[in-house]
Amino acid sequence: MGDGVLGLVGATAMTVGLLFLAIKLLHKLDRRGVGHGRVPMQILQRLPLGAKQGVVVVRVGQRVLVLGTSDQGPSLLTELRRDDRLAALADPNAGPAPVAGRDPELKRLLSRLTLFGLMVLALAGNAQAQKRPAAPKDSGRKVAISAPASVAPKQVTAAPGSGTLKVAPPDAPSVNVQIGQGNEQLKLSGSVGLVVFLGALTLLPAVVLLMTSFTRILVVLHFLRSAIGTQGSPPGQLLVAMAVLLTGVVMHPVLEEANQVAVQPYLNGQMSQADAYQKGLAPFRRFMLANVREKDLAAFTEMTGVAEAKTEDDIPTLTIISAFVTSELQTAFWMGFVIFLPFVVVDLIVATSLMSLGMFMVPPVMISLPFKLLLFVLADGWSLVGQNLVASFHR
C-alpha cells in the first residue's frame, strides 16, 4: 500500500514538473514572438542646428545613441557610455528606464531548482514502485479454462522457472466446401480446394456471358454512342447495365427451361449431378445453334477436327461457343453499320452547308451533334434499338 501511494505521488510530481516545464517553454516562446520582442525606443533630447539639421539623443533598450539628422536621413554620431549614459537616462524629461535587477535572475534560479527537485522526487517514486516481490515459482502448473461445448478448452500452462502463464494458440480453422448430396457430391477441403473453387467462380461469369446475347447487345450500344458523337454519355456502366437487362429479356425462356428440366429436379433429388449438367446445358446449346451462322460453325468444326459430326449433338460445346461468339460479333458490326448511316448523312449535310457558307473554321461536329440528338429523340431511338435487338435473336 505504501509503495502504491509513493508511486502515485511520484507520478503526480513528474506530471506537475512536466507541466511547469511546458509553461516555462511556452512563456519563453511567447517572449520571443512578434508582439513581445520589440525593443523599447524613446527620444530623450532633441537639439536643432538648422532648418533641416539637428542632433537627437535616443534611448534604445539600455543603450543611448546620439543621432544626427539631415536631408540625407539620420546617421549615428556616437554612443553614450557610463556616466554620460546615466546622466542622459536621469533626465527628468525622459521616462523610467528599465534596469535589469537581480530579482528575475533569482526567480529563474529558484524555478529551475524547484523543477529539478520535482523530477528527482518523481524518479525516486517510480523506482520504489517498481520494486515488487517476485511471484512464487511453480513448475508444471496447469489451469483449465471453461469454454462452450462447440469450442475445445484451452490449456494455460505456467512456464517452469517463471511466474508468467502461457496460453496455447487455437487451432487454425478448417475450410470445407461441399457441393451436392449423396454419392454424387463434390468435396473440396483445404486451401487448394478453396483456391480451385474460387477460380472456377471467377471464370463462370465469362463463360455465361459468352453463351448469351450479352456480347451483341453491348457492342451495338457502344456503336450507337459513337455514331451519335457523345463520347461520355451515356457512360459505360449504364450501357453495361442496359445490356444485362436486355440479356435477361432475351434469355428468359432459356433460363426458365433450364430451371425446369435440370435445376429443380436436381434440388429435389430426382436427378444426378451429371444428368442435371447435361440437361441444363441443352437449352443453351439450342439457343447458340439457332443464332450462329452456318459459315462460322463450319469453320470452327473444321478447326477443331469434328467436321465429320453427323448431328448437332456430336459437336462439342466449346466449338459451339467459339462459333457463336464470332457470329455475334459479325452481326453486331452489321447492326452498327446500319445505325451509323443516318448519323453520317446528318454530318455530311452539316459539313456541306458550312462549306457553302464559307465557315471553314467551324467544326462540323459541333453543329451536327444537336441535330443528331434531335433526330434520335424524335425517332424514339432507344425504344427502337431495344426492340430490334431483342427481335434479332431466334429463341
3-state secondary structure of 76: strand
pLDDT for residue 31 is more than 50: yes
- Res 132: pLDDT: 52
- Res 113: pLDDT: 65
Q: At what angle do helices 381-391 and 214-228 cross, to 10 degrees?
A: 150
**pLDDT, average across residues 199-225:** 87
Asked if 58 and 44 count as a contact pair (C-beta separation under 8 A), the reply is yes
pLDDT for residue 139 is more than 80: no
3-state secondary structure of 250: helix
Q: Which helix (H) or strand (E) holds 54?
A: strand 54-60
Close Cβ partners of 30 (under 8 Å, ≥ 6 residues apart): 36
How far is the C-alpha of 211 from the C-alpha of 206, rounded, in Å? Answer: 9
How far is the C-alpha of 208 from the C-alpha of 251, rounded, in Å? Answer: 11
Percent of the chain scoring above 70 in pLDDT: 65
Q: pLDDT band for 190, please (50, 70, 90 cuts).
A: low
* β pairing state of 155-158 and 54-60: unpaired
**pLDDT, average across residues 192-208:** 75
Percent of the chain scoring above 90 in pLDDT: 22
- Res 86: pLDDT: 79
Output the pTM of the full model: 0.52
Q: Is 84 left (phi over 0), alpha (psi -120 to 50) or beta?
A: alpha
Q: Which helix (H) or strand (E) holds 21?
A: helix 2-31
pLDDT for residue 36 is more than 50: no
- Res 203: pLDDT: 79
- Res 152: pLDDT: 47
Asked if 390 and 249 count as a contact pair (C-beta separation under 8 A), the reply is yes
> Which range has the top average pLDDT, 26-30, 191-195, 206-210, 215-219?
215-219
Distance of CA 168 to the CA centre of its chain: 38
What one-letter code names the amino acid at 156?
A: V
* DSSP-assigned letters across all residues of 127-187: HHHH--PPPPP-TT-EEEPP--TTSPPPEEEEPTTSS-EEEPPPPPPP-EEEESSGGG-EE
- Res 176: pLDDT: 63
**Tens-place pLDDT, residues 62-114:** 788 888 888 777 888 788 887 777 777 775 554 444 444 444 555 666 666 67
β-partners of residue 58 are 43, 65
pLDDT for residue 337 is more than 60: yes
Q: What is the mean pLDDT of the chain?
A: 76
**pLDDT, average across residues 7-18:** 67
270 or 181, higher pLDDT: 270
Distance of CA 264 to the CA centre of its chain: 43
**pLDDT, average across residues 129-153:** 47
118 or 223, higher pLDDT: 223
The three cell numbers of residue 27 are: 512563456
**Tens-place pLDDT, residues 278-317:** 898 899 999 999 999 989 988 998 888 887 777 888 888 8
- Res 209: pLDDT: 83
Q: Is it true that the peptide bond before 234 is cis, omega within 30 degrees of 0?
A: yes
pLDDT for residue 242 is more than 90: yes
pLDDT for residue 323 is more than 70: yes
Residue 56 burial (C-beta neighbours within 10 Å; 0-12, 13-18, 19+): middle
pLDDT for residue 127 is more than 60: no
> Domain-by-domain residue ranges, the chain?
2-27+47-94+105-128, 206-391
Residue with cell 487448394: 192
